[in-house]
């Protein structure tokens, strides 16, 4: 069996599972985000009165944080009252993006199953955990019963070997994968990332791969945990846990491989995540807004490379740069290391941790005709505001260099260090 | 639920994502009718009006890719749609549809035989989709008995309720 | 400028702020018809339904205090008010009303002599408000020729325009 | 004549002006904020082609920074296009802060000037000995075309404030106290001069708080004789030469009020009127859902410092949100440098990007029906910060911080550590 199958089998309390099986499996962490006031309605609708395992349920407020409208304020008010009443975890507007704060809080460890009203729950694969996005009904059911049904997914292996050039980041790798394999390659399936490039990546970089697995259609993702994971979990997770492993005879549904030695910065052009080109091949047009942040591009290493590129420089007078650290912990660390100062002095607008304008809720919504280059994860039409705006996905380094020039720019010439990222 | 569903179709391309079906700025809405009012507003602001006379969506691959928002399913269901046929579906959308009882059917070929406004017929048990205007029939995946029961009861939500 | 006649809409409250006349959540609106939709919503959600074109708003102290948002005048004008009579009004709001040609009479105590629907007549030059239904008359502040001239021209915009054109 | 009359006279090229007279005066600086796209429409409607002076018009994006909706993004876009078309020298985009902070930081405010802005709190600049007043879009468009505006020479009221504040009591408490005594319509159409022993030695930031809220009494403008602290501050910002006008000895004020603040306690304006003011010890227990420190009234370095000193090493009440929005990027950078931001975030604050924040209900902390908010901002009108069913309590930044800590309206003097707050 694959490690993912072993996790499903264990949580379903059965000996073996295989792809296509439907199982009822225990959920270790059930997460609702602030967009889903509807979960409360479904909870009631399903006859829920009590939460089976309150310690396994968390509400996170990162999208409409702080509330931009009366309706969202009212939704959050109801959800807070629900959280207080039932004694579940509440990560309020002062914490950060959903999965980032849950990982930092030690609520996720290898071998667990998490569901969330957040499609980017696939990010948890970086910790060797199964994370899946669901809707309000599943979420409410899981709060009541502590388990839901799953279809055990086929598993695809994507092997990534090689060493990244300076200024080329995990984001470029996953965009390249998207461009090659397309956004429906892994529908209903799980993705495991392997290979030397993945092993050499920081945990934050691996999170980028797993985060965007959902853009390939995946149900969940997985990277075999190593020392980097154990170090991160360190003092955050005090309980013991077992790291599942894949049997040597396991047969993947599909296998793909990518060599990244010669990879150059990638860009996903409007309006699809798999509409990917080498940065240098994209026609240069004026960029109105740049965004560094969110669950994809707002971690410390993202802010570090942006600060390195922008320190002592000024952003283009006709371009805005919005920087949103993924969590309070990252904000504090970036402040301590001087990154925030460097970014603000260069002309960045630094906001509170959260999802920012990524899905068009507030904090940098786009007008018709505007162009935005973003380190976030989706460039769908209308994602960040007007359907007539254009979104280009790129790495945080590319976004930072672009903010300086006001047109899409390769970050290579702007890095002071020549270390490989 | 009927084993045979008929209605006029609306045809869409590949990768109709959840930001098209229900843009992020509307996710604060809670009432089904309010959500239905913004259905497909990322691509077609007249959709709610069209949905009064058209009851089947036929799309290309990866329909509903993107977010976990079940607002996307609600938007379509409560605008009166009977079914969505696509070459493939975003995983979470598919799951949400099953949960909320919006009929979703996978067919590789249906997309190729329909134009907007034509009449379609879906035979669930036989796995056949017919363009009634042109009298062309193509295959679809057959809905399993298990899934049919789920739909018949109004989605997984009803089954959860009974448990 | 001749007398203005209309039916009274009474808002006998003090310090009705621009946030009540036109709530902050709508200040991004620029279309006059849309602006009119939210008239006095912060004071009464259904206020719009009370108004017919040509009505006169009769208010208390410090009407229109608060922010400089011009929509707090546009909304009243576009909703159909022909004039506003108040005990006193906020300064910036007053300025905006003059500029946009919404006649305002400051007339202490008039609001206490009026019931909703009473027939009102306003003479701006004399500063007189008359309640024809009750047969009462009140004396307020006479409007200066400078301001009367602006009202007579329908606000300052047409005046500026003709001035620029004549240059 | 009064100094304010002399300012008006000199800008109208007259020797003498008298109360009630209508004059046409030249404007030294006209500021348009991002609520006022209408200004541009009116400009063109009235036949405007080019602005009268590209150095004397300043655009500030603060109320919607960064844009929370497509509509507001469109407003910014059109205003940026106007700025670029007219080649305006002073454009403060979303990465700067509140207009009443960024203008003087940029050296655009000095004694003896006439500053007109599309913002009622333009009275703030009386702290610098300037004639500052708020107007609507039509007036502003007139200025943009002609550089002039008609003014009615106002009656001038003298408010003398004597004494020394006790620790834990701030300038905000002083102006709330005066508002409570005189009423929200005490000075409609009039100008206010603030004087007295308290004012004479007052710091720049505190002077601004007093003048800022003069508009809440209905005032057209406010004035303080520039003191050495003001002159020293201006010198660090601009080399511009200016004239300080003296009030003639025989000038007679329309009214005089005298206040002694030696024994003043922290004050609160309770819903829903700015003049509904009571001493904090007179209030029953009031639960607080949200606390806000920021805006043109309460977002300066001194305000953030006061909050940091109360909250350092503490945790805010888990059922209370504390939103902090520095008045400008300069304030934010300094607050980072002095460690205040670290203190506040660690205490649980949500630190968002400089601007007006939720003060007028645009975004970044809108309140729901039934919620109570204590705020260092300036207005507690029904619906000001969101739902008309919310309740807003105006207080000093110190009171706001103490209330966030305890989750209920709290006297900050409870937390005084040293002699000074």
Query: Structural domain boundaries of chain D?
Result: 3-258, 271-415
Residue D419 has pLDDT above 60, yes or no: no
Q: In what order do the strands lie in the sheet with B4-11?
A: B103-106, B83-86, B54-59, B4-11, B119-123, B128-131, B136-139
Between positions 64 and 93 of A, the ones with CB within 8 A of D are 65-70, 72-74, 76-77, 80, 84, 92-93
The answer to whether chain B touches chain A by having 3 or more C-beta pairs less than 8 angstroms apart is yes
What value does the mean pLDDT take over residues D301-321?
98
With a threshold of 0.90, tell me whether the complex ipTM lies above it.
no
For the domain that residue C74 is a member of, what is the CATH number?
3.20.19.10
Answer yes or no: do A320 and D93 touch at CB < 8 A. yes
Query: Which positions in chain A touch D72 (Cβ < 8 Å)?
Result: 365
Average pLDDT estimate for D285-307? 98
Question: pTM for this one?
Answer: 0.91
Find out whether D7 and D114 touch, Cβ atoms under 8 Å.
Answer: yes
**Neighbouring chains to D with at least 3 Cβ pairs closer than 8 Å:** A, C
B28/A71 touch (CB, cutoff 8 Å), yes or no: yes
Average pLDDT, chain B: 92
Reported as a single tens digit per residue, the pLDDT across A43-81 is 998 899 999 999 999 999 999 999 999 999 999 999 999
Using the predicted structure, report yes or no on whether residue A420 has a pLDDT greater than 70.
no
The mean pLDDT value for D171-198 works out to 96
Q: What's the topology of domain A3-239+249-258?
A: Aconitase; domain 3 (3.30.499)
Contacts 24+ apart (CB under 8 A), D8-13: D8/D114, D8/D131, D8/D151, D8/D153, D10/D112, D10/D243, D10/D245, D11/D114
Quick one: which of A52, A59, A57 has its CA closest to A90? Answer: A59
Q: Give the pairing of strands D391-394 and D372-375.
A: parallel
pLDDT digits (tens, 9 = 90+) for B30-72: 888 999 999 999 899 899 999 999 999 999 999 999 888 889 9
Q: Which CATH homologous superfamily contains domain B4-162? A: Aconitase, domain 4 (3.20.19.10)
**Pick among 3.30.499.10, 3.40.50.300, 3.40.50.720, 3.30.450.40: CATH of D271-415:** 3.30.499.10
Classify domain D3-258 at the CATH topology level: Aconitase; domain 3 (3.30.499)
Q: Which of residues 342-371 of A touch D (CB under 8 A)?
A: 344-345, 347-352, 357, 360-370
Q: What is the pLDDT of residues A139-186, one digit of tens each?
A: 999 999 999 989 999 999 999 999 999 999 999 999 999 999 999 999
Res D417: pLDDT: 67
Contact D291/D320 with Cβ under 8 angstroms?
Answer: yes
What is the pLDDT at residue C114? 96
- Does any CB of chain D come closer than 8 Å to the CB of residue A388? no
- The answer to whether the Cβ–Cβ distance between D135 and C88 falls below 8 Å is no
Domains D3-258 and D271-415 share a fold: yes
Is B89 in Cβ contact with A187 (below 8 Å)?
Answer: yes
Residues of A in contact with B47 (CB under 8 A): none
What lies within 8 Å, CB to CB, of C65 at 6+ separation is C15, C16, C17, C18, C90, C93, D184, D185, D188, D216, D218
Q: Give the pLDDT score at A421.
A: 42
For B91, the closest of A69, A136, A217 (CB atoms) is A217
- pLDDT for the residue C24: 82
- Provide the pLDDT confidence category of residue D300 given band limits of 50, 70 and 90: very high
pLDDT in tens, D401-413: 999 999 999 999 9
pLDDT(A95) > 70 = yes
**pLDDT over threshold 70, residue A344:** yes
- Measure the CA–CA gap between D109 and D234, rounded to whole angstroms: 8
Query: So what's the pLDDT on residue B148?
Result: 85
Cβ contact, residue pair D366, A73, below 8 Å: yes
- Tokens 């809440």, residue located: D216
Q: What is the pLDDT averaged over residues D199-212? A: 97
How many independent structural domains does chain C possess? 1
pLDDT in tens, D28-73: 999 999 999 989 999 998 899 999 999 999 999 999 999 999 999 9
**SS3 state of residue D125:** helix
In C73-159 the beta strands, taken as DSSP E runs, fall at 83-86, 104-106, 119-123, 128-131, 136-139
Is A77 within 8 Å of D370 when comparing Cβ atoms?
A: yes
Percentage above 90 pLDDT, chain D? 93
For chain A, the structural domain boundaries read 3-239+249-258, 269-414
At residue A418, does pLDDT exceed 70?
no
Decide: residue C115, CB within 10 A, 0-12 exposed, 13-18 middle, 19+ buried: exposed
Residues 6+ apart with CB under 8 A from D387: A70, A73, A74, D366, D367, D368, D369, D370, D371
Indicate if the pLDDT at residue D104 is higher than 90.
yes
Q: Does D286 touch chain A (CB under 8 A)?
A: no
Would you say residue A28 has pLDDT above 60? yes
**CB-nearest partner of C95 from D36, D139, D383:** D139
State the pLDDT confidence band at D421, using cuts at 50, 70 and 90. very low
Q: Band of the pLDDT at D420, cuts 50, 70, 90?
A: very low
Q: Say what the pLDDT of residue C167 is.
A: 60
Mean pLDDT of chain D: 96
CATH 3.40.225.10, applies to A269-414 = no
Share of chain A above pLDDT 70, in %: 99
Which chain B residue has the Cα nearest residue A215? B66
Name the region of D234 (left: φ>0; alpha: ψ -120 to 50; beta: rest).
alpha
Q: What is the pLDDT of residue A419?
A: 47
Residue A396 confidence (pLDDT): 98
Question: Which position has the higher pLDDT, C54 or C28?
Answer: C54
pLDDT digits (tens, 9 = 90+) for A356-377: 999 999 999 999 999 999 999 9
- Per-residue pLDDT, averaged over D150-163, amounts to 96
Structure tokens at B55: 């009851």
């Amino acid at each position: 069996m694959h490690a993912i199958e072993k996790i499903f089998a264990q949580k379903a309390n059965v000996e073996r599972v295989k792809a296509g099986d439907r199982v009822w499996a225990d959920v270790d962490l059930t997460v609702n985000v602030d967009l889903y006031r509807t979960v409360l309605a479904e909870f009631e609708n399903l006859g829920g009165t009590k939460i089976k395992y309150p310690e396994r349920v968390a509400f996170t407020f990162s999208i409409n944080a702080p509330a931009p409208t009366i309706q969202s304020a009212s939704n959050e008010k109801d959800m807070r009252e629900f959280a207080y009443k039932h004694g579940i975890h509440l990560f309020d507007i002062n914490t950060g993006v959903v999965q980032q704060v849950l990982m930092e809080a030690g609520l996720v460890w290898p071998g667990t199953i998490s569901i969330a009203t957040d499609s980017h729950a696939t990010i948890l694969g970086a910790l060797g955990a199964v994370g899946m996005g669901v809707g309000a009904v599943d979420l409410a059911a899981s709060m009541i019963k502590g388990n839901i049904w799953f279809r055990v997914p086929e598993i695809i292996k994507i092997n990534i070997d090689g060493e990244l050039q300076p200024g080329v980041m995990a984001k470029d790798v996953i965009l390249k994968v998207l461009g090659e394999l397309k956004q429906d390659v892994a529908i209903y399936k799980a993705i495991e990332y392997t290979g030397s490039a993945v092993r050499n990546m920081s945990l934050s970089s691996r999170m980028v791969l797993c985060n965007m697995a959902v853009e390939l259609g995946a149900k969940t993702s997985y990277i075999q945990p190593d020392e980097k994971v154990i170090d991160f979990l360190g003092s955050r997770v005090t309980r013991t846990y077992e790291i599942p492993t894949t049997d040597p005879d396991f047969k993947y549904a599909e296998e793909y491989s990518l060599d990244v030695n010669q990879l150059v910065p990638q860009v996903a052009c409007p309006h699809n995540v798999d509409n990917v080109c080498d940065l240098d091949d994209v026609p240069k047009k004026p960029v109105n807004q740049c965004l560094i942040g969110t669950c994809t591009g707002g971690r410390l290493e993202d802010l570090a490379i942006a600060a390195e590129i922008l320190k002592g420089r000024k952003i283009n007078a006709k371009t805005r740069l919005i920087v949103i650290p993924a969590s309070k912990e990252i904000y504090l660390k970036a402040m301590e290391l001087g990154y925030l100062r460097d970014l603000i002095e260069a002309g960045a607008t630094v906001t509170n941790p959260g999802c920012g304008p990524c899905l068009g809720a507030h904090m940098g919504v786009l007008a018709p005709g505007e162009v935005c280059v973003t380190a976030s994860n989706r460039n769908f039409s209308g994602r960040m505001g007007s359907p007539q705006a254009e979104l280009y996905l790129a790495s945080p380094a590319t976004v930072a260099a672009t903010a300086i020039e006001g047109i899409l720019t390769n970050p290579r010439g702007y890095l002071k260090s020549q270390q490989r990222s | 639920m009927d084993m045979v569903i008929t209605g006029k179709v609306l045809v869409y391309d590949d990768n109709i994502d959840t930001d098209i079906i229900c843009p992020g700025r509307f996710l604060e809405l809670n009432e089904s009718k309010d959500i239905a009012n913004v259905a497909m507003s990322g691509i077609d602001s007249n959709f709610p009006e069209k949905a009064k006379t058209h009851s089947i969506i036929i799309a290309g691959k990866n329909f509903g890719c993107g977010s976990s928002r079940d607002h996307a399913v609600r938007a379509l269901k409560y605008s009166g749609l009977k079914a969505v046929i696509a070459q493939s579906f975003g995983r979470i959308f598919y799951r949400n549809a099953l949960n909320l009882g919006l009929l979703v059917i996978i067919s590789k070929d249906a997309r190729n035989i329909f134009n907007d406004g034509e009449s379609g017929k879906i035979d669930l048990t036989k796995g056949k989709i017919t363009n009634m205007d042109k009298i062309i029939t193509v295959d679809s995946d057959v809905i399993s008995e298990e899934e049919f029961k789920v739909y018949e009861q109004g989605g997984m939500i009803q089954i959860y309720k009974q448990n | 400028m001749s007398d203005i006649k209309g039916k009274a809409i009474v808002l006998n409250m003090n310090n009705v702020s621009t946030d009540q006349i036109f709530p902050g959540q709508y200040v991004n609106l620029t279309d006059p018809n849309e602006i009119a939709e939210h008239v006095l919503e912060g004071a009464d959600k259904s206020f719009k339904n009370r108004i017919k074109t040509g009505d006169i708003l009769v208010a208390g102290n410090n009407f229109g205090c608060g922010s400089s948002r011009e929509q707090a005048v546009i909304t009243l004008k576009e909703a159909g008010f022909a004039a506003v009579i108040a005990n006193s009004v906020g300064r910036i709001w007053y300025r905006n009303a003059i500029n946009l040609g919404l006649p305002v009479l400051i007339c202490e105590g008039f609001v206490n002599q009026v019931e909703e629907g009473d027939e009102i007549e306003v003479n701006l030059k004399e500063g007189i408000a008359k309640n024809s239904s009750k047969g009462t008359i009140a004396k307020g502040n006479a409007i200066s020729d400078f301001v009367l001239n602006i009202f007579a021209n329908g606000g300052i915009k047409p005046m500026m325009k003709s001035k620029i054109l004549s240059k | 004549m009064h100094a304010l009359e002399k300012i008006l006279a000199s800008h109208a090229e007259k020797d003498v002006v008298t109360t009630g007279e209508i004059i046409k005066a030249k404007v030294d600086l006209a500021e348009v904020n991002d609520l006022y796209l209408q200004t541009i429409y009116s400009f063109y409607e009235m036949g405007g082609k080019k602005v009268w002076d590209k150095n004397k018009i300043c655009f500030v994006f603060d109320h919607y920074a960064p844009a929370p909706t497509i509509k507001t993004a469109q407003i910014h876009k059109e205003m940026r296009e106007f700025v670029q078309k007219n080649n305006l020298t002073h454009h403060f985009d979303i990465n700067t802060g509140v207009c009443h902070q960024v203008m003087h930081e940029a050296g655009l405010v000095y004694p003896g000037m006439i500053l007109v802005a599309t913002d009622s709190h333009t009275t703030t600049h009386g702290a610098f000995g300037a004639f500052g007043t708020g107007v609507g879009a039509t007036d502003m468009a007139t200025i943009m075309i002609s550089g002039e505006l008609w003014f009615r020479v106002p009656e001038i009221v003298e408010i003398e404030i004597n004494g020394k504040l006790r620790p834990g009591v701030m300038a905000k408490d002083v102006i709330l106290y005066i508002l409570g005594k005189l009423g929200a319509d005490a000075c409609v159409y009039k100008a206010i001069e603030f004087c007295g022993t308290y004012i004479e030695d007052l710091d720049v930031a505190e002077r601004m708080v007093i003048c800022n809220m003069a508009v809440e009494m209905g005032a057209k403008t406010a004035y303080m004789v520039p003191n050495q602290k003001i002159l020293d501050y201006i010198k660090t910002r601009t080399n511009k030469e200016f004239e300080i006008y003296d009030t003639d000895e025989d000038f007679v004020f329309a009214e005089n009020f005298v206040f002694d603040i030696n024994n003043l306690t922290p004050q609160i304006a309770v819903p829903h009127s700015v003049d509904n003011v009571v001493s904090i010890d007179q209030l029953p227990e009031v639960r607080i859902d949200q606390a806000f420190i920021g805006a043109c009234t309460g977002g300066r370095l001194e305000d953030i410092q006061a909050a940091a000193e109360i909250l350092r090493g503490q945790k805010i009440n888990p059922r209370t949100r504390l939103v902090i929005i520095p008045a400008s990027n300069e304030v934010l950078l300094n607050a980072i440098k002095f460690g205040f931001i670290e203190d506040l975030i660690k205490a649980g604050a949500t630190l968002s990007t400089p601007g007006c924040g939720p003060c007028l209900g645009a975004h970044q902390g809108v309140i729901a029906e039934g919620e109570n908010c204590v705020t260092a901002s300036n207005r507690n009108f029904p619906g000001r910060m969101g739902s008309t069913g919310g309740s807003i309590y105006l207080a000093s930044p110190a009171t706001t911080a103490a209330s966030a800590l305890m989750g209920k309206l709290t006297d900050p003097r409870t937390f005084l550590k040293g002699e000074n707050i």
